A and B are shown apart, each in its own frame.
Chain A
Amino acid sequence: MTEPRNPGMSSAPQVNPAHAESSSPAVEMDPVEYTLRKRLPRKLPKRRNDVYVNMKTDFRAQLARCQKLLEGGGHREICIHGLGLAINRAINIALQLQTSSQGALQLAANTSTVELVDDLEPEDPDEAGEPMTRTRNNSAIHIKVFYPEP
C-alpha cells in the first residue's frame, strides 16, 4: 500500500477515545522541532487472491496481475485492496476488469478505516523528551471482484 498522501486525510478527526491520549498533541506540534516518520500500515492477511494496490507499481502490471488471477489463476473471486491515494487506482482496476469481462464480473466494494501510526522524533533529542507517536486514520477500499454464482 502506498503512503497516504491525501491532504484530506490529515484532517480526519481522531475519534477513537481509547487512543486519544496516545495521539498526543498533534496540533501544537512545531514542525521544525520534530521529524515525522510514518510507519507502515498494519499488515493485513494475504491470501493468494488478495491484491494490494499501490502507487509505485505500473498500473498495467497490476491490472494484468488481477486478470491473470481471474483467468489463469482459476480464482472465482479476487479482492482488491487500496489505501489512501491508491483507492482511485483500485477502483479503476476493478472497473476495468468488469468492463473487459463484458459484465461477467461483479463488484462488491467495502470501505474501511485504517489506523496509521506516525512517529514524531524530536530534532533535539535531549530536552524535547520523548518521541511522540500519534495515530491517524485513512480510508481504504476493498473490492471483491467475482463471477456471480449462476
Chain B
Amino acid sequence: MSAAKAKMREKKMRNQPASVQYPSGVNGEGGSQNRGHGSGGHPSSKERKKPEDTGWVRGHQRYGGGYSKEMPKYITGGAFARARAAEVKAMLRAVSQTACSSHVFQALPKHMRRRAMSHNTKRLPRRLRDVADRMREKSLQAGSKKKKEPAKSKSRKARRRHGNLLLDFNRRQRKNIWLETHIWHAKRFHMVKKWGYCLGDRPTYKCYRSCYRAMSSHCLLQDLSYYCCIELKGEEDELLAALSQMTSKEAGPTFAAALCLSGRRQVSVTIYRIGQYPCQPLGPVTVLWRPKTPGIRGRQLWIWAHPTLKQDLLPELQSVCRCWEAVPPSIDPEVLCGKEKSAPHPKPENILEAKLKPGAKRKRSSVDASEPPVKKILGDGTRLPGTTVTWKSSSTGIVINDLTMEIVRYRLIGPQSHSVLTEALEAATVCKEVDKSLGSTFWWPQHCSDESNMLLHQQQADVFHTLKGISSTTELPPGTVLGLTVDDPRLTLPTKKMKVLPCVSQAQEADEDKRKELILRGVPEQCCQSSLWEESVRDDVTENKIPEQALNRMKSEMLVPGSRLSPTPPQGRVPVLLVHQPGKQVGQEMSSWGAGWDLLLPKGWGMAFWIPLVYRGVRVAGLHMGLKHSHSKAAPIFPHDFPDCPAGIRFQEEQEAEFLDKFKRHPPAKRTNYIKHGCLAPFRCPWQQLAEEWEHLTRGGGDEPAEMSVAKPLSLFIVLRNRKSLRLLSGWCRPTTSTGRRLNRELLPLSQSAVTSFLSAHGMSLVWVRLSLLSKGRPELHSMVCVPTAEDLKLLGKHQDLQEPPHRDHFKSRIKPQKKSLKSDDPEPRSTPDSDLIFGLWPDPLPSVTSHCSRVTLGWTTQGDFSLCAGHGEALGFVSVPGLLNTLLKQAGEHRGTLLLRNPGSLHYRFAKVNVEV
C-alpha cells in the first residue's frame, strides 16, 4: 500500500517546490530534500509520519504542531547557510514555476488576454512565451502519460459476461437497494439515489405531457416497490388495542374502520406517536388487513409506509406492541436469499440445471468446480444476512415482520388501468387431475386439491372477468381489494407492443348485473383473500420461478411458433393482490382523477409482470411524475409535505442543503438576490416561526401576551388534521355568494366568536391548502402566500392579469453592503460572519416572517406548478390557521378566500383562490 501512496504523493508533488527541511541530527548535510524530484530514497509515509520536531520545517505541519517551541541554543553556520540557500532555491523555483493548474496567460490582466492563447503561444507577450511553451510541453507529456495509466479493468466482453455482470451488479447493490426493475429503468431513466434506493426519477426522453395524458386517459405505470411493508400478526383485539393508540378517529379512518377490518378495502391512516394525537405525527401509511381466514385464529395486517417513515415507525410499532424479542432469522430460505451467494435449493435443482444448460461451457465448468453459482439478489441487497426482521412479543403475542422488498408493488394510474390489468393478466388455469394426483411440490397443485380453494378461485376469476366490462377505474368503490391467482404473464406476452382499449360493448344481461353489483358493492369479502399473504407460498413462488431463459427455450420448442405454451407449467401460477387506489378524493373539482390499481406481487416476479404490462401500452413514470400525480390530486406527498413529521423535517434539511449548494455554485453576481425580492426563506420554510408569529399576532390585541408566551413557549406547530375542523374551515373559505353552499352542514357561520373558539383549539396550527391561480402565472416551490389588501381586491375585478403591487424590498440591499464593508474593515470577525453570510440570502435570525413584505405572509407553498388538468397554475402548501381565519374575517363575501401568491424569485403577486379540501 505504501508504494501506491508514495506514487500518489509523487504525482501530487510533481510541480510543487520542495518543502525545505533541515533535519539537524542524523543527516545534517542533507539540507533540502526535493521530494518531488528527489531520485533518492523514497520518502515513505512512515518517515513522513514521524514528528520531526527538531528540524526546520517549512509550512504548517500536522505533527509538529507548527514550529518547534524551544529555540535552538546554537546554530551551525555552514548548515544554516545551506539551509537558507536551499530555501532561496526553492523559493526561486516556486516563482519561476507555476502551479500546473493555472495557465500562464492568467498572469495577464484581463484586457491583455486574447483568444486561443493557450494554443498559440505567439499570442502571448514575449516575456511569457518561454514559460508557456514549457508548460505546454509538460502538459502534453502529462496527458500522454496519463492516458496510458488506467486500463487494467477487464475487457468489455469479459465484463459483460453474464456471471461477471451479475457479480458486478450484486456488488453495486450493496449500498443502495435496487428494485427488480432497476436494469430496465437504468437504461431509460435518470436514476437518483434516494432513501437508500436507486430509483428512476424521470425518463430520458421527453414525455411530460404524454405521461399526463396517460394518467388522465389511459394508464401510467410506476414501480413503487420501494415502499416498505410491515406485517403484523396477532389477535385482532390485541392488535387493535395496540394500534389504536397511534391513531385518532378525528383525523380520519383508523385501523379499525369497519370495511378495512374486514379486508375489503385499503385505507390510508395517519400515524402518531403513541398517545400523542394532535402532536407528533409520524406520517401516513396505508393499511391492508387480511380477511379472516377460516383456519387461522389471528389476524394479519400489512402496513405500507414510505422508506423514510419506516425508521420512525418500526420502533414505535415495536414499543406499542411490546415486541422486543428479536426472532433470529432462522428460516433457512430467508437467510439464503438474503445472502448473495446462496446455495440453490434442493427442489429447484432441475430448473437450475435447465438454466445452465444453454449457457456457455465456461459457466458449466465453474459449476463443476463446485463454486456456488452467482445468484441474483432478490429483495434487500443491503441487508446483512443476519439482520433481524422479525420481532415478537410474549405478552401480547403480536409478531412484527419487516417485509421490506419482499413484495413488489406496481402502481397503475389512470382510467384504463383495469383494462391493462385484465389484458395482461389471466386468472390461473386450474390444474389437471393428473397433476393433482402427482403430488407436486409446487404450491398450486396442492392448493388446487382443496375444493373450497377452487371455488374461491372461481369466484375471484369471475370478479376479475367482470372488471373487464367496466369502462373506467373510477367507477369502482375506492380502495377495493381483489385477491387473485394468475398465470405467468410471460406466457401471454404479445409479440408486439400494443395499446389496450377498453371493451365496453358487452351488454349481456348477466354481465351487466354483475357489473352493477361490483360497482355498488365492491368485491365480496371472501374474494379479497389471496395466497400472497402466506409466506410459504410467496417463498415457493419466488424460488420456483421459471427463468426467462428456460421459458424462452420452452417456447422455442413449441410446434407452432408463437402459440401459447399449452400446458401451463406447474410453477407458473402467481398469487397477486390488486388494490384499488382512489383518485382525488377531496374537493369538488376533478373528483376521482388519477384513480388506479396497485398490483402486489411476490418478490422475484417483478420483471415477469413488468414487461407484459409495458407491452400493453402503458407509459412508465418515475418519481417526478409521481409528484405530479399527487400534485394534481392535491394530496400531500409524504416526506415533502409533512413538515411536522420527523421524516419531513429531515427531508426539509436535506432539501435546504441541496438548494443552498446549488445556489452557492453560482457566482454572486448571477444569483437571485432573495433579499431584494423580500424573500426570507427561499430554501426552507420556517413553519415554527410562522406559527408562533401568528399566534402572537392574534393574541396581541387582547389579554396577557406575556403570560401566554410563558405558558406555552415551546409548543410545536402542528398540521391541522382534524376532519371536523377542516370541514368547518373549508366552508369558511368559500365565497358566500356562490349558491353551492353546503346544506345545513355548516353549523356556524364565520364570525368573530366562532373564529375565537376555533383558534383556542388550533392556535398553533397550519392547514394544508390548495391555491389555484385566477390568472396566469406558474407558482413555484416555496412561494409566499400573502394576504391581499383592500386596494388589491379592488384591482381584482378590473383586470386580473396585470397585477403588480408595489414592493419595498430594497432596504435589504443596504444591509448587504453594510455588512460587506464591515467585513473588509476589520479582518478579525471575518471568519465568523463569512460562514453564515451568503450573498443574496438572509442571515440566520430571520426578522418577522409575517410582516416582512408589503403584504402579510400567511404561509408558503410546498408544491407548485402549472397544472395540466386544471389548466392554470396550482400550488399546494400550508398556511397558518389564525392567519387564514383573520384574513377570511376581513374579506367581503364574494372575495372571500382570495389570496396572493408570489414566487420567491419574483416581485409579482398573483391572485389565487384558496381551498381547504376535506
Q: Which residues of A contact B (CB under 8 A)?
A: 3, 5, 18-19, 22, 31-32, 35, 37-40, 42-45, 117, 119, 123-126, 128-131, 133, 135
Q: Chain A residues near B249 (CB, 8 Å)?
A: 124-126
**A44–B471 CB distance below 8 A:** yes
**B257–A126 CB distance below 8 A:** yes
Q: Chain B residues near A126 (CB, 8 Å)?
A: 249, 254, 256-258
Residue B745 at the chain A interface, CB threshold 8 Å: yes
Q: Is the interface of B mostly helix, strand, loop or mixed?
A: loop
Q: Chain B residues near A35 (CB, 8 Å)?
A: 918
Contact of B475 among A31, A42, A124, A131 (CB under 8 A): A42
Q: Chain B residues near A125 (CB, 8 Å)?
A: 249, 252-254, 256-258, 260, 267
The residue on B at minimum CB distance from A23 is B520
Residue B713 at the chain A interface, CB threshold 8 Å: no
Q: With both chains docked as a complex, state the minimum distance between the C-beta of A49 and any C-beta of chain B, in angstroms.
A: 18
Known: A18-B513, A31-B745, A133-B477. A43 touches B259 (CB 8 A): no
Q: Which residues of B contact A (CB under 8 A)?
A: 249, 252-254, 256-260, 267, 415, 471-472, 474-475, 477-478, 504-505, 513, 516-517, 519-521, 585, 588, 591-592, 723-724, 740, 743-745, 918
Q: With both chains docked as a complex, state the minimum distance between the C-beta of B244 and any C-beta of chain A, in angstroms.
A: 9
**B471–A42 CB distance below 8 A:** yes
Q: With both chains docked as a complex, state the minimum distance between the C-beta of A63 and any C-beta of chain B, in angstroms.
A: 18
Contact of B521 among A22, A37, A40, A43 (CB under 8 A): A22
**B516–A43 CB distance below 8 A:** no
Q: With both chains docked as a complex, state the minimum distance between the C-beta of B477 and any C-beta of chain A, in angstroms.
A: 7
Q: With both chains docked as a complex, state the minimum distance between the C-beta of A57 and any C-beta of chain B, in angstroms.
A: 10
**B591–A22 CB distance below 8 A:** no
**A39–B258 CB distance below 8 A:** no
Contacts A40-B472, A45-B471, A125-B252 known; 4 new A-B pairs at CB < 8 A? A42-B472, A42-B475, A125-B254, A126-B257
The residue on B at minimum CB distance from A44 is B471
Q: With both chains docked as a complex, state the minimum distance between the C-beta of A24 and any C-beta of chain B, in angstroms.
A: 10
**A19–B516 CB distance below 8 A:** yes
Q: With both chains docked as a complex, state the minimum distance between the C-beta of B541 and any C-beta of chain A, in angstroms.
A: 33
Contact of A19 among B520, B588, B724, B740 (CB under 8 A): B520
Q: With both chains docked as a complex, state the minimum distance between the C-beta of B571 and any C-beta of chain A, in angstroms.
A: 39
**A40–B591 CB distance below 8 A:** yes
Bound Cα distance from A24 to B535, whole angstroms? 39
The residue on B at minimum CB distance from A124 is B249
Q: With both chains docked as a complex, state the minimum distance between the C-beta of A37 and any C-beta of chain B, in angstroms.
A: 7
Bound Cα distance from A125 to B505, whole angstroms? 38
**B504–A45 CB distance below 8 A:** yes
Bound Cα distance from A131 to B505, whole angstroms? 30
Q: With both chains docked as a complex, state the minimum distance between the C-beta of A10 and any C-beta of chain B, in angstroms.
A: 11
Bound Cα distance from A125 to B260, whole angstroms? 9
**A31–B743 CB distance below 8 A:** yes
Q: Chain B residues near A44 (CB, 8 Å)?
A: 471
What are 28 A-B residue pairs whose CB atoms fall within 8 Å in the complex? A5-B740, A19-B520, A22-B517, A31-B743, A39-B474, A39-B591, A39-B592, A40-B472, A40-B591, A43-B415, A43-B472, A43-B475, A43-B504, A44-B471, A45-B471, A45-B505, A117-B475, A117-B519, A124-B249, A125-B252, A125-B253, A125-B254, A125-B267, A126-B249, A126-B257, A130-B259, A131-B477, A133-B521
Bound Cα distance from A40 to B470, whole angstroms? 13
Known: A18-B513, A126-B254. A39 touches B475 (CB 8 A): yes
Q: Which of B258, B415, B513, B740 has the most CB of A within 10 A?
A: B258
Q: Chain A residues near B260 (CB, 8 Å)?
A: 125
Bound Cα distance from A126 to B255, whole angstroms? 9
Q: Chain A residues near B743 (CB, 8 Å)?
A: 31
Q: With both chains docked as a complex, state the minimum distance between the C-beta of A143 and any C-beta of chain B, in angstroms.
A: 22
Q: Chain A residues near B740 (CB, 8 Å)?
A: 5
The residue on A at minimum CB distance from B474 is A40
Bound Cα distance from A31 to B745, whole angstroms? 7
Q: Chain B residues near A31 (CB, 8 Å)?
A: 743-745
Bound Cα distance from A97 to B506, whole angstroms? 34
Q: With both chains docked as a complex, state the minimum distance between the C-beta of B128 and any C-beta of chain A, in angstroms.
A: 70
Known: A22-B520, A31-B744. A40 touches B475 (CB 8 A): yes
Q: Chain B residues near A124 (CB, 8 Å)?
A: 249
Q: Chain A residues near B513 (CB, 8 Å)?
A: 18
Q: With both chains docked as a complex, state the minimum distance between the C-beta of A113 and any C-beta of chain B, in angstroms.
A: 14
**A129–B258 CB distance below 8 A:** yes
Q: Chain B residues near A42 (CB, 8 Å)?
A: 471-472, 475
Bound Cα distance from A133 to B518, whole angstroms? 11
Q: Chain A residues near B267 (CB, 8 Å)?
A: 125
Q: Chain B residues near A19 (CB, 8 Å)?
A: 516, 520
Bound Cα distance from A39 to B474, whole angstroms? 7
The residue on B at minimum CB distance from A129 is B258
Q: With both chains docked as a complex, state the minimum distance between the C-beta of B131 and any C-beta of chain A, in angstroms.
A: 72
The residue on A at minimum CB distance from B739 is A5
**A38–B591 CB distance below 8 A:** yes
**A119–B256 CB distance below 8 A:** no
Bound Cα distance from A124 to B740, whole angstroms? 25
Bound Cα distance from A42 to B249, whole angstroms? 32
Q: With both chains docked as a complex, state the minimum distance between the C-beta of A120 and any C-beta of chain B, in angstroms.
A: 11
Q: Chain A residues near B471 (CB, 8 Å)?
A: 42-45
Q: Chain A residues near B254 (CB, 8 Å)?
A: 125-126
Q: Chain B residues near A39 (CB, 8 Å)?
A: 474-475, 591-592
Q: Chain A residues near B257 (CB, 8 Å)?
A: 125-126
Known: A125-B256, A125-B258, A126-B257. A133 touches B520 (CB 8 A): yes
**A135–B472 CB distance below 8 A:** no
Known: A125-B253, A133-B477, A135-B520. A40 touches B258 (CB 8 A): no
The 3 closest A-B pairs by CB, nearest first: A125-B257, A43-B471, A43-B472
The residue on B at minimum CB distance from A35 is B918
Bound Cα distance from A130 to B585, whole angstroms? 18
Q: Chain A residues near B520 (CB, 8 Å)?
A: 19, 22, 117, 133, 135
Bound Cα distance from A45 to B471, whole angstroms? 8
Bound Cα distance from A43 to B519, whole angstroms? 13
Q: With both chains docked as a complex, state the minimum distance between the C-beta of B422 and any C-beta of chain A, in angstroms.
A: 16
**B258–A123 CB distance below 8 A:** no
Q: Chain A residues near B415 (CB, 8 Å)?
A: 43
Q: With both chains docked as a complex, state the minimum distance between the C-beta of A35 and any C-beta of chain B, in angstroms.
A: 8
Q: With both chains docked as a complex, state the minimum distance between the C-beta of B225 and any C-beta of chain A, in angstroms.
A: 29
Q: Chain B residues near A32 (CB, 8 Å)?
A: 745
Q: With both chains docked as a complex, state the minimum distance between the C-beta of B768 and any C-beta of chain A, in angstroms.
A: 17
The residue on A at minimum CB distance from B479 is A131
Q: Chain B residues near A119 (CB, 8 Å)?
A: 477-478
Bound Cα distance from A128 to B254, whole angstroms? 13
Bound Cα distance from A31 to B256, whole angstroms? 22
**B516–A123 CB distance below 8 A:** no
The residue on A at minimum CB distance from B517 is A22
Bound Cα distance from A45 to B588, whole angstroms? 24
Q: Which of A39, A119, A123, A124 has the most CB of B within 10 A?
A: A39
Bound Cα distance from A40 to B589, whole angstroms? 11
The residue on A at minimum CB distance from B723 is A123
Bound Cα distance from A126 to B257, whole angstroms? 5
Q: Chain B residues near A3 (CB, 8 Å)?
A: 588, 591
Q: With both chains docked as a complex, state the minimum distance between the C-beta of B886 and any C-beta of chain A, in angstroms.
A: 28
Bound Cα distance from A128 to B249, whole angstroms? 12
